[in-house]
Every structure is written in C-alpha cells, then in structure tokens.
Amino acid sequence: MRFNALTDAEAREVLLVCCGSRRWAQRVAAHRPYPDAGALLAAADEASYDLSQADLSEALAAERSAELDHGAPYAALLALGAARAEYERKFGHAFVVFLGGHPPEEQADQLLAAIRRRMGHEVDEERSISADELRRVAQARLLDLTRRLAAPAGATAAEIGRFAPVG
C-alpha cells in the first residue's frame, strides 16, 4: 500500500485534506504500516472517535460546507446560501454532512433539508452530530485517497493529495 511509503510529513499533509485535525492526521500517520485500506479506514475511524473538543473544533474550522453541482437551480442555491449562513452564525462552524449515496440532482434538497432539521438542535447535540458527519466524510475522503494512491508510481504526495473533498 503506497500510503505506507509516504514520509511522515507527506502522510500528514494528505490526511489533513481528509480531516482538518492535526492530532487525527498525526495519529493515523503514526500507526503505519497498514496491511490494507480496510485497516487504514478502521484506524481513522478510531482516531475520529477519540478527538478531543479542541481537536474537533480544529477539524470543523478547516471544513467548508458541502458544495453543490453548478447545475443546481438558482433558487436552491440562494436558499442554501441563506441557510448555511444562519447555521454558521448559530453554531460557529461550517455545516458538515455526508452526502454519499445521494445523486447530484438530489443533493440541494438533501442539504437544505438537513440544515433545516439540524437548526433546531442545541449546540452540544449539533456538535455531536457534526462530529459523526465529519467522521463519515473523512472515511469517504480516505477511501478516495486510497484509490488515488493506486495512481502511477511517479505521482508525488502533492498530486496524490489533490482530490475533490467529498462532503
């Protein structure tokens, strides 16, 4: 597995794209070598559950709200922009949700419904939900990373780390 061959700095760099917690990236990088992608994903999951409040704050601060396909209806983009702004004002961080399994044409509705549903939460409850969504997003990003690591052997860490965040 090529992830094991990256230097510590390179591994942390690509891991920070998956989850913005330096402690999470350090922990996942430090437990190499991984025998396979499944072991890497399991270690990342465990590290996600062990994030302190400060680590979670750091990871959430590094997140950007999930982006929609540019073909989304203008009205949906306006409503989503307003809902995101209100969410960020109330909770102090970007809205994080895992959209895997939803086709692009449904994502605007899914995002807007999720923001509206979660706006009713108390701060502590929403922080817990955001942590779980962040864990799911990081898993998807790591899975994408392992696929990219199967790229040609000459690819650099910077090239490997260039992937569109899943969110």
Question: Can you give the CATH number for the domain in which 51 is found?
Answer: 1.10.3330.10
Instruction: Select from 93, 121, 97 the least CA-distant residue to 109.
Output: 97
State how many domains the chain has: 2
Instruction: With H, G, I as helix, E, B as strand and everything else as coil, classify residue 100.
Output: coil
Residue 50 counted as domain residue = yes
Q: Looking at this protein, which amino acid is placed at residue 62?
A: A
Q: Rg of the chain's alpha carbons, rounded to an integer? A: 17
Residues 32 and 112 grouped into a single domain: no
Query: Are residue 49 and residue 96 in the same domain, yes or no?
Result: no
Whether residues 53 and 72 share a domain: the answer is no
Report yes or no on 166 lying in a domain.
no
Q: Residue 167 domain-assigned?
A: no
DSSP assignment of 148-162: HTTS-TT--HHHHH-
Together in a domain, 53 and 135: yes
Residues 52 and 22 both lie in one domain: yes
Contact 131, 51 (CB under 8 A): yes
Element (H, E) at 17: helix 8-18
- The answer to whether residues 55 and 74 belong to one domain is no
Q: Is residue 23 included in any domain, yes or no?
A: yes
Kindly state whether residues 54 and 135 are assigned to the same domain.
yes
Residues 107 and 150 in one domain: no
Contact 17, 9 (CB under 8 A): no
**End-to-end Cα separation, the chain, in angstroms:** 25
Residues 13-29: tens digit of each pLDDT: 999 999 999 999 999 99
- Asked if the structure places residue 87 within a domain, the reply is yes
Range of the domain at 10: 2-60+131-161
- Is residue 60 within 8 A of residue 80, CB to CB? The reply is no
pLDDT tens for the 167 residues of the chain, in order:
889 999 999 999 999 999 999 999 999 999 999 999 999 999 999 999 999 999 999 999 999 876 666 667 788 788 888 999 999 999 999 999 999 888 888 888 889 999 999 999 999 999 999 999 999 999 999 999 888 877 656 666 565 555 434 44
User: Is 38 part of any domain?
Assistant: yes
